[in-house]
Amino acid sequence: MPMPLEGIRVLDMTHLAPASFSSMFLGDMGADVIKIQPPRSIIPFRLGHVGLDEEKWAAYEPTDRNKRSISLDLRKEEARQIVYKLAERADVFMEGFRPGVVERMGVDYETLNKINPRLVYCSQSGYGHSGPYADQVGHDINYISTAGILSVIGVRGGEPIIPSNLIADFAGAGLHGVIGVLLALMARERTGKGQYVDITYLDGSLSLMAWQIAMYLCTGEEPKRGSTWLTGAAPFYNVYLTKDNKYISIGCTEPHFWANLCRALGHEEYIPYQHEGGKKREEIFAAFREIFRTKTRDEWYDYLGKEICVGKVYDLSEVVADPQIQHRNMILEVEHPKYGKVKHPGIPIKLSDTPGQIRRTAPLVGEHNDEILADIGYSKEEIERLRQSGVPG
């Protein structure tokens, strides 16, 4: 059975992990993703902060799995000509540079669109290629600040809490990049033409705030850190410290789940006061905090059962061993020629007839130079000449 994106060729110049997350999804679903990377002589491998060498990191690194790598020095005209030849046969081009960079390299949308009008060109940038912030540098923390996300994450009266780089990087840009490319490929089926897909970390982050923004526009009331039930103000939607100094999460927003929780904790009298504020809310909080300290996290999880919205607050070592995550194949083993079986995060989109799969681990820089150049018609002699001239590194 063919995979859903089999026959689609993607040129990937994303480089940073969040944008590479987008092309990872395309590769997982069968696309031939060619990673175009600078030679290691220009940008050497750097992962000193986690103490890994390049080969070991490539075995485990998920965002570049299912990809082939060609290393090109795009300061050289012959290297750009190779990109143009690749673009002639490609369906998608993805880049994640600051505004103006792809123009300087000669691989901008206008240039590649003339070579291949069917090409879907996806750009992922912080704030976009136009507007007052276009030239502003940034990272996840800055984008979620501007999108208002940091204003609602944290304890009442306290500082904002930084939620790692999950929101703007991987959800805001990464997932929206996948959606944009797939929509453009669907549109191409009708029009026969590719188009420019403009994804920004800020726009994607803002879209994740749709419900909160709608509530503000409707009521005029701004949600503040720790002041709404979604941000820690309510006993029915919170985390509680347990006897073993771990945490359990409670999400009993519906009245019947709240009633189940109150009965299970021996406080049926609190059922009518789910949304009560003031002293009654503080009384409920105090009672729940004291009760949850009487059992371990796992004991509470087992005791509360399946008719109460409860979850264990896991460390990552517990996440990868969880039976539900294992059952859903969200941690997969992949064969590596040097390291044997290595584990990867699984594929979250489950298709019954054409499922995705991890066919290969991430490549080393330039690992497939000769193979890719041969694919677009270069002879062995031409490839050797290019190598001697430093076009592929």
What residues are labeled active site?
A: 139, 169
Contact 197, 128 (CB under 8 A): no
Q: Tell me the three-class secondary structure of 273-333, residue by residue.
A: HCCCCHHHHHHHHHHHHHHHCCCCHHHHHHHHCCCCCEEECCCHHHHCCCHHHHHCCCEEE
CA 346, chain centre distance (Å): 13
What the block records as the tokens of 270 is: 């609190």
What the block records as the tokens of 121 is: 């060109």
Residue appearing with tokens 């945490």:
247
Q: Cα dihedral sign for 43, 382, 360, 348?
A: positive
Phi-psi region at 182: left, alpha or beta (left = phi > 0; alpha = psi -120 to 50): alpha
Contact 232, 238 (CB under 8 A): yes
Angle at 167 between CA 346 and CA 297, to 5 degrees: 65
